[in-house]
């Protein structure tokens, strides 16, 4: 649903300028320094991107899913590490607060998240609990007026600059029903951020483990009812998966720009690569996949807005778009030949970055399980 077509078109135009004038020029520096450049962060804040889907009442943009997908098609045309920093604020974390938080929790956290003053972290994965999130072991025990949290969360995006932690911890018995959600201030005693080892891409979006040792948080840090945590976390996944499908389509379009430019400019055998049918075919296949991902993301975003989206469809869109993105990155690197393999080329950087999207927010294998469940259950 596009609420106001003129305002939407203006926002997309401003996002295109942001991508071209600020974000793409800062990509190489962000990768080299593993830090988001200040001017990029300031611009992302000025455009309201930390609050994409946080309601306007809390200072966010309050976009519908179709508006958000349209915006991600544009913002996908630059390094996805930018998105890892700003989008988590209005992604899983804010969605849990909006769905189940008390008025006091919403007004405490959401305005700062929407402005980008606070950076949110989503703390679900653990050393022994990745795809099988329901097996997590971090515990939260009620002791008087407090909850005592103990455990370790693995590879938490943005942990080194966290301003708010949404932590999934076990309050009850085994399995999904024993897990609850907590909104925690990272300055609380007993919270320790432990830098993780380096990673192959997405440099600029930092990742670390978070250790909780005898960490006492007030009783009202619990979000929603006891035992509802994993359900709440999974409820926001359809939205995240459509967001990633649109981002992936935008990334394919960026890679195609890079491939097109190189194929037109580089000459071999007396003519541009673009005139070599085998090279052109690599790009033609990529155009088809980018277009399919774009259409899927927009169509399903509309379905989410009108309440008809099925979880299996969101999983299928994430699966298709991120896998296609991997193929497109590989083909475009091939079109660049040796230049695509050398450090410093945009294609080499994007190739490393996009690999993560087939792992995050449910690996491709997990998406296939969700899609198959949808197929066989009805």
Contacts to ligand FAD by CB under 6 A: 122-125, 130-131, 155-157, 199, 202, 207, 356, 359-360, 363, 365-366
Nearer to ligand FAD, 124 or 232 (CB): 124
Element (H, E) at 211: strand 207-218
- Give, as one character, the DSSP assignment of residue 299: H
- Residue identified by tokens 């990029």 is 40
CB of 17 to ligand FAD, least distance (A): 29
Q: What is the dihedral of CA 113, 119, 120, 125, to 10 degrees?
A: 170
Question: For residues 247 and 152, what is the distance between their CA atoms, to the nearest angstrom?
Answer: 30
In 3D space, the residue among 113, 101, 106 whose CA is nearest the CA of residue 61 turns out to be 113
CB of 198 to ligand FAD, least distance (A): 10
171 near 226, Cβ under 8 Å?
A: yes
Nearer to ligand FAD, 153 or 254 (CB): 153
CB of 253 to ligand FAD, least distance (A): 23
Report the SS3 class of residue 330. helix
Nearer to ligand FAD, 202 or 246 (CB): 202
CB of 299 to ligand FAD, least distance (A): 26
Question: For residues 337 and 319, what is the distance between their CA atoms, to the nearest angstrom?
Answer: 28
Show the tokens assigned to 281.
């075919």
Give the pairing type, strands 146-157 and 164-170: unpaired
Question: For residues 345 and 31, what is the distance between their CA atoms, to the nearest angstrom?
Answer: 11
CB of 305 to ligand FAD, least distance (A): 26
In 3D space, the residue among 248, 212, 234 whose CA is nearest the CA of residue 353 turns out to be 248
Nearer to ligand FAD, 140 or 273 (CB): 140
By beta carbon distance, the residue nearest ligand FAD is: 130
Nearer to ligand FAD, 98 or 134 (CB): 134
CB within 8 Å of 313: residues ≥ 6 apart:
300, 303, 374
Nearer to ligand FAD, 19 or 85 (CB): 85
CB of 285 to ligand FAD, least distance (A): 25
CB of 32 to ligand FAD, least distance (A): 18
Nearer to ligand FAD, 159 or 221 (CB): 159
């Amino acid at each position: 649903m596009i609420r106001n077509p003129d305002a939407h078109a203006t926002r997309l135009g401003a996002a295109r300028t942001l991508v071209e004038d600020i974000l793409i020029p800062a990509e190489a520096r962000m990768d080299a320094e593993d830090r988001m450049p200040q001017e990029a962060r300031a611009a992302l804040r000025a455009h309201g991107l930390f609050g994409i889907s946080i309601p306007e009442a809390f200072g966010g943009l309050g976009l519908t899913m179709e508006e958000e997908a349209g915006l991600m098609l544009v913002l996908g045309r630059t390094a996805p590490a930018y998105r890892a920093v700003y989008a988590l604020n209005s992604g899983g974390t804010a969605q849990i607060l909006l769905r189940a938080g008390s008025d006091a929790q919403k007004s405490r956290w959401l305005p700062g998240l929407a402005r980008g003053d606070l950076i949110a972290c989503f703390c679900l994965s653990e050393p022994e609990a990745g795809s099988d999130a329901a097996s997590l072991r971090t515990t939260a025990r009620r002791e008087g007026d407090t909850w005592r949290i103990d455990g370790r969360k693995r590879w938490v995006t943005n942990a080194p600059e966290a301003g708010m932690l949404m932590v999934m911890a076990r309050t009850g018995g085994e399995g999904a029903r024993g897990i609850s959600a907590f909104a925690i201030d990272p300055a609380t005693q007993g919270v320790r951020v432990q830098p993780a080892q380096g990673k192959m891409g997405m440099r600029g979006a930092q990742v670390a483990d978070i250790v909780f040792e005898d960490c006492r948080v007030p009783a009202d840090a619990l979000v929603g009812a006891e035992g509802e945590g994993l359900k709440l976390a999974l409820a926001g996944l359809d939205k995240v998966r459509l967001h990633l499908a649109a981002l992936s389509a935008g990334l394919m379009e960026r890679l195609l720009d890079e491939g097109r430019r190189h194929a037109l400019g580089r000459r071999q055998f007396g003519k541009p690569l673009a005139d070599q049918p085998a090279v052109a075919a690599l790009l033609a296949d990529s155009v088809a996949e980018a277009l399919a991902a774009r259409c899927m993301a927009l169509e399903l975003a509309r379905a989410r807005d009108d309440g008809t989206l099925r979880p299996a469809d969101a999983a299928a869109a994430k699966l298709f778009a991120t896998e296609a993105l991997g193929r497109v990155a590989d083909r475009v690197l091939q079109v660049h030949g040796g230049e695509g393999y050398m450090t410093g080329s945009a294609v080499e950087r994007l190739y490393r970055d996009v690999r993560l999207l087939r792992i995050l927010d449910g690996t491709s294998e997990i998406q296939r399980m969700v899609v198959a469940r949808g197929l066989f259950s009805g």
